[in-house]
Amino acid sequence: MTGTDVLVEVRDLKVHFPIKRGVLFDRTIGHVKAVDGVDLRIPRGQTYGLVGESGCGKSTLGRALLQLTPPTTGEVNFDGVELTTLPAGKLRAMRRRMQMIFQDPMSSLDPRQNVESILTEGLHTHGIGGNRDERRKIIAETLDKVGLPRWALSRYPHEFSGGQRQRIGIARALVLGPELIVADEPVSALDVSIQAQVINLLDELQDSLGLTYLVIAHDLAVVRHISDIVGVMYLGGLVEEAPSDRLYTEPLHPYTRALMSAVPVPDPDVEDRRERILLAGDLPSPANPPSGCRFHTRCPWAQPTRCADERPVLREVGESRVACHFAEQIASGELRPHQVQVQIVRPEGEGEEPDVVSAPSEPGSFV
């Protein structure tokens, strides 16, 4: 990926949330390492897909990239501008160039705003469009782009179907004319037949507007469909990064292989033939991640040497980057998978939503 025009570069990004307990005074008793040292580059005009299971830190990474969650350490370079050290006022102005699409189209739209007001808010904030007529023109064009009718303007979010609401969310992001769009699970709350509409819309918009996407999703099939480059995350770190097609044909990291084999394919012939790698147990807690390779507790190829005590770095193997000590030996078949003893994992909080991981941030922060 050298030589291409890079829009976003993330270096050694870490987001740690303090865990606070205490009766009278809150004491920090540890940290949830939601994102723990991630490097990635997003080439201009392309789609970077970030895939991983809940709690792997992919959503936090997306928000930290946009500085919506302050990173603990690390650098985020957007088109030559370092975002982590940017003063608040300049950062707000930069937001015009980088927008976000959310998972739940209902909760990401203010229920008391009608569509016109939702779309105008960003224009007002950045002083785009001198007068009312000009703003109306921009909004009308945006509605056309996302395939919403004009009569939508006076309507409120609760009057639309899920797919249409997501189109409103996309329109809100587009109206500012951004270069980068971070889409956090853009289709997972939608019905199957609507998912395809939104995926196609995102594709079309990229073609016509030259947008750069960071698509975050748990569904590998969706990510692979929409992305040029796919990064696989496990417990706060990237374990593999490869061009979309290569990731499918030649997965190198054991976790990628397991993930791939677990995704159901709507084709009985494929389903009956394919080899399954069933992972034992659950995702360990990001507050207390395993030593060495984070995946070694569940890895069917884990070796007694290195895996438990040396954290593998992302290194280039062919066109891919992979964080596994034994990627080559596994690919060549030299190492064989073995049985893994299940380790009991205690749930952190009540659920397993990625939100829970970000919950211990500051209570009630607008950021």
Partner 1 sequence: MTIISGKKREKIDRLAELAAREEERGVSLWQDAFRRLRRNPAAIVGAVILTIFVLVAVVGPFFVPYGPTDTMGIREGVVRVGQGLIPGHSAEHWLGYDHQGRDVFSRMVVGARQTLLVGVVSTLIGLSIGALIGGLAGAAAGLGGRWGRWVDATLMRFIDMLLAMPSLLLAVSIAALLGPSLTTVMIAVGMVSVPVFARLLRGSMIVQSHSDYVLAATSLGVRKSKIALTHVLPNSLAPVIVQATLTLATAIIEAAALSYLGLGNPDSAVPEWGVMLADAQPWLGIRPALAIYPAVAIIITALGFTLLGEAMREALDPKLRK
Partner 2 sequence: MALLEVDDLSVTFARRGQRAVRAVDGVSFSVDAGEVVGLVGESGCGKSVTSLAIMGLLPKQPGLRVGGKAVFDGSDLLQLDDRSRRDIRGRDIAMIFQDPLSSLNPVIPIGLQVTEVLTRHRGMRGDAAAKEAAQLLDRVGIPDPKRRLKEYPHQLSGGMRQRALIAMAVACQPRLLIADEPTTALDVTIQAQILELLKDLVRDSGTALVMITHDLGVVAGMCDSINVLYGGRVVETARRRPLFREPRHPYTVGLLGSVPRLDAGRGERLNPIPGSVRDLLPWPDGCAFAPRCTRRVDACVGEPPQLVLAHDGRSYRCVNPAPVPGLRPTEEIRETVPGEAEPGTVPAQAVPGDAPAVPGLGPAPSEEETP
Site for partner 2, rule CB under 8 A: 53-54, 161-164, 191-197, 199-200, 203, 218-222, 224-228, 244-245, 248, 258-272, 276, 278-279, 282-283, 341-347, 350-352
Tell me the C-alpha distance between 238 and 56, whole Å.
9
Q: With contacts defined by CB under 8 A, name the span among 6-14, 148-156, 189-197, 254-262 that binds partner 1.
A: 148-156
Q: What DSSP line would sit under 82-128, residue for residue?
A: ESTT--HHHHHHHGGGEEEE-S-TTTTS-TTS-HHHHHHHHHHHHT-
Give the residue, chosen from 33, 172, 311, 325, that forms a contact with partner 1 under the rule CB under 8 A.
172
Interface mask toward partner 1 for 20-59; x: CB under 8 A: ----------------------------------------
Tell me the C-alpha distance between 212 and 179, whole Å.
6
Give the residue, chosen from 49, 55, 71, 122, that forms a contact with partner 1 under the rule CB under 8 A.
122
State the minimum distance, in angstroms, from the CB of residue 307 to partner 1. Answer: 38
**Are 65 and 214 contacting, i.e. CB atoms less than 8 angstroms apart?**
yes
User: 132-146 vs 115-126: helix axis angle to the nearest 10?
Assistant: 120
Q: How many CB atoms are closer than 10 A to CB 330?
A: 23
Give the residue, chosen from 14, 155, 225, 274, that forms a contact with partner 1 under the rule CB under 8 A.
155
Q: With contacts defined by CB under 8 A, name the span among 60-68, 200-208, 251-259, 304-312 that binds partner 1.
A: 60-68
Task: Residue 104: name its binding partner from partner 2, partner 1, none (Cβ under 5 to 8 Å by kind).
Answer: partner 1
Tell me the C-alpha distance between 229 and 320, whole Å.
10
Give the residue, chosen from 159, 267, 271, 353, that forms a contact with partner 1 under the rule CB under 8 A.
159
